[in-house]
Chains A and B, each alone.
Chain A
C-alpha cells in the first residue's frame, strides 16, 4: 500500500484542505473529498501532474440537500482515485470536464443533466442522453424524491 500512501501524502501536502478527507479503502482504491470551489485546482493537478489520465466514470448521487458527483480517475497501473464533490440542489452548477480533459466524458455528464437535473457549464449542445426527447421538464428520475407515478400524472404528449 506504499504507492497509495505516497499519493495520499502528496495530495495532503499540496492541498492542505484535503486533510482527513482523503482515505485509502483497500489496495488501489483512494477516496478524496473536495469542495466544488476547489475542485478544478485539485482535478487539474491529479490528472495532469499525477498521471491519473483515465476517467472511468462520473457517478451522480442525490445526498439530501446536495447533489454529489464522484469522478473515478485511474492510472494505467490500476490505481483508482475517486474524487468527490458536492453542489447544492438549489443551484446545481458544475463545470464540464469534456473541454479541457476528457472529451469521452460527454455521456456521463449528459446523464447528470438528464437524471439529476445538474447544470453542466460548457457542455456543448447536442442530443440528450439517456431520456427520450418527450420526457417532461423538471423530472429527474434518479433523484430520491422521484417516483414513477409522477410520470403517470403528466398530461398526455408532454
Chain B
C-alpha cells in the first residue's frame, strides 16, 4: 500500500449518511478502505449518573428513554434486575404481556431496519413499502399502550396494561397482514438479483471474529452464531413459547438481511402463540417502594442484540448503581473488521447493517456547546432555559399548559 496516496475523510459527527452522531474517519487508498478510526460519545446524556438520584419507579421512565426504538427492551431488562433483587415473582399473564410487546417491538424495529438498509443502497421502493407496512404494527402498539414508542408497558412486578378480547382480534388481523407482506420481502430478498449482488460479500465478518469481538444479535447470527438470549437465558414468557433461532452463514450484509426477515416470520408465530395461550389472572404483583440491598444482572434480546443491565441497590428507594449495555456498543467495534478492504460506497450500508443506535451506546453527562472551537459548558438550568426559549422563538409555548398541569396536581 502506498501511504502517499492515502486520503482521510471524516464521516460524521454530523453527516447525511448517518442517522445519529458518530465519527468514522476513513483512510482511503483510491476507493478502497485502508483504515477506520471511531470516535463515539456524541450522544452522551448522563443517564447512568442520573439514575442514581432517581427512585426505582422514576428510573423505569428514564431508562425507557435510553433508546426510542428499543423502548421496551431497556426498561424490561432494568426491571428484571430490580425484581430479582426484591424477590418478586411476575404473574404468568404479566410475563406473556411483556413478551407480546417485546415481539411487536422487534417487528417494528426489523421493518424499520429493512427500510433504512434499502434506502442506503438506493432501493427506495422497498423503503416506502416496508415503512408503510411498519405503520400496521405501530398502530397496534399505539392501541395497546397509548404510544408509538416509549410504551411504558412495564411496572416493577409485572405489566402496566392488560389486553382485551378486541385487542386480540386486532393483533391477529394485523399479524396476518404483516406476514403476507413479509413473505413478499423474503421473495424480494431471495430472488431480486440486484439486491443480492449489492449486498453479497459486503461487510464480511467470520464466525471466529464474531466470537472474538463479542458481536451480538442478528449481526452475529448472520455469521452462524447460534445464540439467542430468548432461548439460552430465557426471561419473560420465552420458556413457554416455541420458536426457532434464525441463523445464516453468509457472514455479510446479505446474511444480516435474511436473518432479520426470518426473525420477522418467527415473531409472527410467537405473537400468535402468545395471543392463543395467554393465561388469565393478575398482570402484576405489588412492589415495595424500597428495594432491599443486593445486586442483579439481567439480559434481554433486544431487536439489535443482547441488552445487559446491572443494578445494585442499597436498601433505599434509589439505586446505588445502574449499568446499561446496548448491543451497538459491541457491534460498532466489529465495523472496522467488516469494512477491511471494502469500497467507500459500502460504508453506509455496512454501518446500517448492524442497525446501530448511538443513543443507547452513549447513555451515560451533559452537553457542551461547541461553537467555533470555543467550548462552553452549559449548566442544567441553562440547557433547560435554552430549550424553552428556542421553542418559544419558534412559536411553541408551554407556559399555559404547564400552569394547567400544575393546577391539576394541586
Name A residues whose Cβ lies closer than 8 Å to a Cβ of B: 25-26, 28-29, 53-57, 59-61, 70, 72, 76-78, 80, 82, 102-108, 111, 115, 127-132, 134-135, 141-142, 148-149, 151-152, 154, 156-157
A149 to B381, CA, bound (A): 11
B333 and A107 contacting across the interface, CB-CB below 8 Å: yes
Does B296 make an interface contact (CB < 8 A)? Answer: yes
**Contact of A70 with B310 at beta-carbon distance under 8 Å, contacts A76-B227, A78-B229, A82-B297 already known:** yes
A157 engages B375 (CB within 8 Å): yes
Interchain nearest-CB distance for A116 vs B (Å): 11
Q: Is B40 an interface residue (CB 8 A)?
A: yes
A51 CB to closest chain B CB, in angstroms?
11
Q: Mark B318-332, 1 if CB is under 8 A from A, else 0.
A: 001101010001101
Jot down 30 A-B pairs with beta carbons below 8 A, ordered by A. Answer: A25-B296, A57-B308, A57-B325, A59-B323, A61-B320, A61-B321, A76-B226, A76-B227, A103-B213, A104-B215, A105-B214, A107-B332, A107-B361, A108-B329, A127-B39, A128-B41, A130-B40, A130-B364, A131-B41, A134-B368, A141-B46, A141-B49, A141-B365, A142-B364, A151-B377, A152-B377, A156-B375, A156-B376, A156-B377, A157-B376
In this complex, the member of B211, B215, B375 whose beta carbon has the largest number of chain A beta carbons within 10 angstroms is B375
Confirm or deny: B72 has a beta carbon within 8 angstroms of a beta carbon on chain A: no
Inter-subunit contact B368/A132 (CB<8 Å): yes
Q: How far is the CB of A43 from chain B (nearest CB, A)?
A: 15
Report if A107-B329 is in contact (Cβ < 8 Å); known contacts: A129-B41, A132-B41.
yes
Chain B residues near A132 (CB-CB < 8 A): 41, 44, 368, 370, 375
CA gap between A107 and B297 in the complex, in Å = 19
| Alpha-carbon separation in the docked complex, A60 to B227 (Å) | 27
Q: How far is the CA of A75 from the CA of B48 in the complex (A)?
A: 27
B334 within 8 A of A: yes
Q: Which of A76, A131, A152 contacts B379 (CB 8 A)?
A: A152
- CB-nearest residue of chain A to B228: A78
Which residue on A lies nearest to B214, using beta carbons?
A104
**A72 close to B297 (CB less than 8 A):** yes
In Å, the complex CA distance between A153 and B334 comes to: 39
Find A72's partner among B49, B308, B361, B362 (CB 8 Å cutoff).
B308
Closest residue of B by beta carbon distance from A76? B227
Separation of A112 and B37 alpha carbons in the complex (Å): 20
Q: Is the interface of B mostly helix, strand, loop or mixed?
A: mixed
Residues of B within 8 A of A76 (CB): 226-227, 232
User: Does B306 belong to the interface (CB within 8 Å)?
Assistant: yes
Tell me the smallest distance from the CB of B63 to a CB of chain A, in Å: 16
- Residues in A with CB closer than 8 Å to B330 are 104
Q: How far is the CA of A2 from the CA of B380 in the complex (A)?
A: 51
Give the CA-CA distance A149 to B379 in the complex, in Å.
8
Are A130 and B48 within 8 A (Cβ)?
no
Which listed residue, A57, A103, A129, touches B323 by the CB 8 Å rule? Answer: A57
Q: Which of B313-371 contact A (CB under 8 A)?
A: 320-321, 323, 325, 329-330, 332-334, 361-362, 364-366, 368, 370
Do B299 and A56 touch across chains, with their CB atoms under 8 A apart? Answer: yes
Report the bound CA distance from A134 to B46 in whole Å. 16
Asked if B84 is at the interface of the complex by the 8 Å CB criterion, the answer is yes
**Which residue, B44, B46, B380, has most C-beta atoms of chain A within 10 A?**
B44
With a cutoff of 8 Å between Cβ atoms, the chain A residues found around residue B38 in the complex are 127
Indicate if the CB atoms of B312 and A61 lie closer than 8 Å: yes
Residues on the B chain within 8 Å of A152, using CB: 377, 379
CB-CB nearest 5 A-B residue pairs:
A78-B233, A130-B41, A78-B232, A104-B214, A104-B213
Question: Whose C-beta in chain A lies nearest to the C-beta of B368?
Answer: A132
Say how far A62's CB is from chain B's closest CB, in angstroms.
8
List, in ascending order, chain A residues with CB within 8 A of B229's CB: 78
Q: Is the CB of A111 within 8 A of B364?
A: yes
A56 touches B41 (CB 8 A): no
- Chain A residue, CB-CB nearest to B377: A151
- Complex CA gap A129/B364 in Å reads 11
A112 to chain B, nearest CB (A): 11
B125 at the interface (CB under 8 A from A): no
In the complex, how many angstroms separate the beta carbon of B313 from the nearest chain A beta carbon? 13
> With an 8 A cutoff between CB atoms, is B406 at the interface?
no
Q: How far is the CA of A55 from the CA of B308 in the complex (A)?
A: 11
Is B212 positioned at the interface, with any CB of A under 8 Å from its CB? Answer: yes
A100 to chain B, nearest CB (A): 12
Shortest distance between the CB of B335 and any CB in chain A (Å): 12
User: Are B377 and A142 in contact, CB atoms less than 8 angstroms apart?
Assistant: no
Tell me the complex Cα distance, A28–B296, Å: 12
Q: Is B374 an interface residue (CB 8 A)?
A: yes
Of the listed residues B233, B297, B310, B361, the one surrounded by the most CB atoms of chain A closer than 10 A to its CB is B297
Contacts of A107 in B (CB 8 A): 40, 329, 332-333, 361
